[in-house]
């Protein structure tokens, strides 16, 4: 049966990790060191995150069930960013330097919680990354001078609408610690700066 949901009664959702100040500045340095082609669609510093799960269009009516279901207690951990990579289809991303077992475990636990709620979960293997740009196949990449520690003590349920992101809920240590009114995303995201002449 076709869905009767309308934009006013759905939210485009994903579960994400946001970088702390140190990781954010390291990502900024990586971004600045790359020679970007004019056509590159750069994500912009306010958008840098690691997506744990993309839920897509989700009925607002599911939030009372979803918010507590996403509670997955975990001990704080850290991993290291260390590689700038060119992926197919013009993606330029930053990847962890090596496999982070605690990160993989957290992503898997959240996936199981989503499945128990009857929500779809990506079937492909999880490849944690931060997207710096799309349409950037001709970018000249620069290797980071040193890896960067990214501490993880919380994750967020995020709404995306009209080019804007908004945290709907924050889970510190995997426990719901703050939830916002489930309105459309309203936090203004500044546009990514254009490439500098080189």
Q: What pLDDT does 182 receive?
A: 58
Q: What pLDDT does 34 receive?
A: 96
Q: Dihedral of CA 184/112/179/187: which sign?
A: negative
Give CA–CA dist 182/198, Å, rounded.
44
Give the pLDDT confidence of 57-113 residue by residue, as tens digits: 999 999 999 999 999 999 999 999 999 999 999 999 999 988 889 999 999 999 999
Q: Which stretches of the chain score pLDDT less than 70?
A: 1-8, 181-198
Q: What pLDDT does 173 receive?
A: 96
The DSSP string of 60-121 is GGGHHHHHHHT------EEEEEEEEEEEGGGEEEEEESS--HHHHHHHHHHHHHHHHTT---
Q: What pLDDT does 164 receive?
A: 83
CB 185 within 8 A of CB 161: yes
pTM of the model: 0.85
């Amino acid at each position: 049966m076709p869905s009767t949901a309308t934009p006013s009664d759905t939210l485009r959702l994903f579960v994400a990790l946001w970088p702390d100040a140190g990781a954010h500045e390291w990502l900024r340095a990586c971004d600045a060191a790359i020679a970007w082609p004019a056509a590159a669609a750069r994500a912009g510093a306010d958008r840098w995150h690691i997506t744990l799960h993309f839920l897509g269009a989700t009925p607002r009516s599911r939030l009372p069930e979803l918010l507590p279901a996403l509670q997955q207690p975990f001990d704080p951990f850290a991993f290291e960013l260390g590689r700038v990579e060119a992926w197919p289809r013009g993606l330029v991303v930053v990847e962890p330097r090596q496999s982070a077992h605690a990160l993989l475990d957290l992503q898997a636990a959240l996936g199981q919680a989503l499945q128990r709620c009857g929500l779809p979960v990506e079937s492909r293997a999880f490849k944690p990354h931060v997207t710096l740009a799309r349409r950037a196949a001709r970018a000249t990449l620069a290797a980071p001078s040193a890896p960067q520690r990214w501490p993880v003590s919380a994750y967020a349920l995020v709404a995306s609408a009209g080019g804007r992101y908004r945290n709907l809920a924050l889970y510190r240590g995997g426990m719901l610690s703050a939830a916002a009114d489930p309105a459309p995303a309203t936090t203004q995201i500044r546009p990514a700066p254009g490439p500098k002449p080189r």
